[in-house]
Structure 1
């Protein structure tokens, strides 16, 4: 793969931000929407809608795609800061 993609991490505050993050992670793995849709068990149209930030996208399928991408979704109180562990 010739292009380098900066992978977004951090707070997701809109459907378009989620879509941009999914697209960046998919492209970093060198997969097309069709390849990734097939791998995750969703349709190409769904992948396209997700990456475009469609606000009415199905949550269960979004979670399935995130799992396929190897990223997790977590909830924290607003303003939460991860504390360094003493490990």
Structure 2
């Protein structure tokens, strides 16, 4: 199955959703290349960048699940880097 490199930008405004977000990221951890989190305490938000190399459907599923969390928004940016699947 072919994979794509993508970036999910996440903004968390409701701290009570952090545990559920971390659980989702743990479930998809085998696709995650890296992640960076920045707390912006003055504004009461956390900004998280997650970079993945995963099948298109896995990226879409994760982004959708994140976006359904209360007080969490997510946007996904896809690269043109596609790795063909093994036949």
| Class of the TM-score when normalised by the shorter of the 2 chains | 0.3 to 0.5
Larger-gyration structure (1/2) = 1
State the TM-score, normalizing by the size of structure 2. Answer: 0.34
TM-score by length of 1: 0.34
Structure with the bigger RCO (C-alpha within 8 Å, sep 6+) is 2
Q: Which has the higher helix share?
A: 1
